Amino acid sequence: MSSAVLVARGLSKDFTSGGQRVPVLSGLSLCVRPGESLAVVGRSGSGKSTLLNLLCGLQAPKEGLITVAGESFRRPRKSSERSDDDARWAELRRRSIGVVFQEANLMPALSLVDNVRLRAHLAGHATGGERGWLERLGVGAEADRYPDQVSGGQAQRAALAMVFAMAPALILADEPTGSLDRHTADAVADCLFAMQGDSGCALVLATHDSELAARCDHLLDLSALDPAGTE
């Protein structure tokens, strides 16, 4: 079996609110291999977005080990360690981790095709295939339009084209269809799973949508884990 793209061991995360410590994740572990998909579900506030932020280095855990595409990050750090964690996370987000949010995160001053071209370039790939990515995602005809000239579903397809054009090892998707109507959400999800299957990358998808979660290979229900011990 191929080695994991993503491993997390013993992840814990707290926030402080009104002077009180609010535990969100406690001792969470997971493992995702190339081509696998993991749905992260749970009630509102259970920590889905927080977990995805930890897995791409936008937030740091209190404790735990995260390994992505062979790069390892451990908390707490040894005080003697001069950390280059932030630079390594930034490099992973540039080349290896594609992040998809609920709203398409396109640059408004660039056409769809230029958004995809920029993302591929930043990931270190030769440009030229951008229109092909947009066509595969069903928005080839809109390639020269600007983000404010397309629908939410078309913008989200362009956001997926950006992510796949960078050929990531791992995609983190936070409610990627949450702002779309059912029909459009299903079409965008079809694209996401088809392209993920073709590319062989790993996918971690946070969602409230049980139909979307059921399309993933594995399920992680954060509501079933109670960091505060109140359930």
Ligand X SMILES: Nc1ncnc2c1ncn2[C@@H]1O[C@H](COP(=O)(O)OP(=O)(O)OP(=O)(O)O)[C@@H](O)[C@H]1O
Binding site residues, ligand X, CB under 6 A: 15, 17, 22, 24, 42, 44-50
Q: Tell me whether residue 30 or residue 143 sits nearer to ligand X (CB atom).
A: 30
Cis, peptide link before residue 76, omega less than 30° from 0: yes
Q: What is the nearest approach in angstroms of ligand X to the Cβ of residue 209?
A: 11
Q: What is the nearest approach in angstroms of ligand X to the Cβ of residue 57?
A: 15
Q: What is the nearest approach in angstroms of ligand X to the Cβ of residue 71?
A: 23
Q: Tell me whether residue 142 or residue 174 sits nearer to ligand X (CB atom).
A: 174
Q: Tell me whether residue 49 or residue 196 sits nearer to ligand X (CB atom).
A: 49
Q: Tell me whether residue 75 or residue 125 sits nearer to ligand X (CB atom).
A: 75
Q: What is the nearest approach in angstroms of ligand X to the Cβ of residue 147?
A: 23
